[in-house]
Amino acid sequence: MSAQGDWEHRLGHFGRYGGRFVPEALIAALDQLDEAYRKASGDPAFTEEFGRLLREYANCPSPLYLAERLSARAGARILLKREDLNHTGAHKVRNVLGQALLTKRMGKPRIIAETGAGQHGVASATAAALFDLECVVYMGEEDTRRQALNVTRMELLGARVISVTTGSRTLKDAINEALRDWVTNVDTTHYLLGTAAGPHPFPTMVRQFVSGIGVEARQQCLAAIGGLPDAVCACVGGGSNAIGAFHAFIPDPGVRLFGFEAGGEGVETGRHAASITGGAVGVLHGARTYLLQDADGQTIESHSISAGLDYPAVGPEHALLNDQGRAAYEPVTDAEAMEAFGLLCRTEGIIPAIESSHAVAGALRIVPRLAEELGREPTIVICLSGRGDKDVDTAGRYFGMLS
């Protein structure tokens, strides 16, 4: 693991990526968070408490499920890491439990969070209820309309949802608004960022909280098939489920890592959210990374059928993994993702999140390539990062079942 340790050596940088591009007013809070996180990660009591919550409350470890009918269709042995079975329906619960525990340790009574699809907002509201914290969730006005059910969920859990009407009124603007709140209320408030992006220590800390995905999958894979997979596939928006799935496998040279970005209507149309494939290096929301931007450095709005991937940048560790060639990033279009969504529903009886459907579609795409390289049927772990209950309306409309 020394390679990863080195990347982070210089104040949370991953090679040239990451860092802290934030107002000075936030630096003290980031330092406080970094210190609390370091102390906690070395404290057996914290590890124990976090582990107990994951087991007893969040339903982790999630199963690694051999999807036989899908495997037969794909011509590969496909193992699904069932993060969709976690409490609140996605991998996000791992991160919020970790950060909520830290919030308690820092003695802060209030958390704020941003949310796109509402999954991170729901997870944050859940943790806030569990830990008796005040919770405010910023959500773009556009998204509150697209995901009305999740707004109600958050409110049922006792959170206040603030509809953001600035900028493009989506996830990136919700993050801007949360940062403004944080700058103003930093003494009492922890910003519970939902992905492995943002200023140091968020990319490292969030990755550690979700890294159980890969650690579990690696052990489960060894136990189930007596070896490691040929590839691990995950969808990439901000990139938390992907970095969580990848991280334990980085030192295994035989395991290929694939991140599938939201290709929207096709990268060539400009209407997509593929920051690595279709973006350029810059600075957004506190970190240097790949982002969608114009010639003046203004952020370009992203587009994806999946609200959870609809974000114009990506976590900085993915930027480095891409440049090093350790992970490969490819776009998957809305149409490809929806086809995979339908396939998983009907072959396995699993309604996946549209986000996770991008990973399924990407995995199906790489099967022939891997089979040819390996000269045999490949074994692929797909991180099924979330369940699709929240997407029933979108999918019903897409397939013409609802109007």
Q: How far is the CB of 190 from another protein (least distance, A)?
A: 15
Q: How far is the CB of 398 from another protein (least distance, A)?
A: 29
In angstroms, the Cα distances linking 350 to 174, 287, 288 are 31, 36, 37
> Active site includes 114?
yes
Q: Single out the residue of 387, 391, 367 nearest to residue 379, CA to CA.
A: 367
Q: Which amino acid is at 285?
A: H
> Active site includes 261?
no
Beta carbon nearer to another protein, 298 or 403: 298
Q: Which of 62, 71, 81, 114 is catalytic?
A: 114
Beta carbon nearer to another protein, 61 or 316: 316
Beta carbon nearer to another protein, 158 or 282: 282
- Helix axis angle, 27-41 relative to 202-210, nearest 10°? 30
Beta carbon nearer to another protein, 165 or 219: 165
Q: How far is the CB of 295 from another protein (least distance, A)?
A: 7
Tell the burial category of 44 from Cβ atoms under 10 Å away from its Cβ (0-12, 13-18, 19+): exposed
Beta carbon nearer to another protein, 191 or 341: 191
Rounded Cα–Cα distance for residues 222 and 361 (Å): 25
Q: Calculate Rg over the CA atoms of the chain.
A: 19
Q: Hey, which residues does 280 pair with through a beta bridge?
A: 291
- Point out which residues bind another protein (CB under 8 A): 11, 19-25, 27-29, 166-167, 172-173, 176, 179-180, 183-184, 186-187, 280, 282-286, 293, 295-299
Contact 35, 104 (CB under 8 A): no
Tell how strand 379-384 and strand 77-82 pair up: parallel
> Active site includes 83?
no
Q: What is the DSSP letter of 313?
A: B
Beta carbon nearer to another protein, 25 or 149: 25
Q: How far is the CB of 172 from another protein (least distance, A)?
A: 6
Tell how strand 286-291 and strand 280-284 pair up: antiparallel
Tell the burial category of 297 from Cβ atoms under 10 Å away from its Cβ (0-12, 13-18, 19+): exposed
Q: How far is the CB of 121 from another protein (least distance, A)?
A: 19
Contact 34, 26 (CB under 8 A): no
Structure-derived torsion over alpha carbons of residues 174, 143, 273, 208, reported in degrees to the nearest 10: 60
Q: How far is the CB of 252 from another protein (least distance, A)?
A: 33
Buried/exposed code over 339-350 (b: 16+ C-beta within 10 A; e: otherwise): bbbebbbebbeb
Beta carbon nearer to another protein, 163 or 176: 176
Q: Single out the residue of 321, 298, 26 nearest to residue 196, CA to CA.
A: 321
- If residue 126 lies in a helix (H) or strand (E), which one and from where to where? helix 119-131
Q: How far is the CB of 218 from another protein (least distance, A)?
A: 35
Q: Which of 92, 108, 172, 390 is catalytic?
A: 92
Catalytic residue ranges: 92, 114, 385
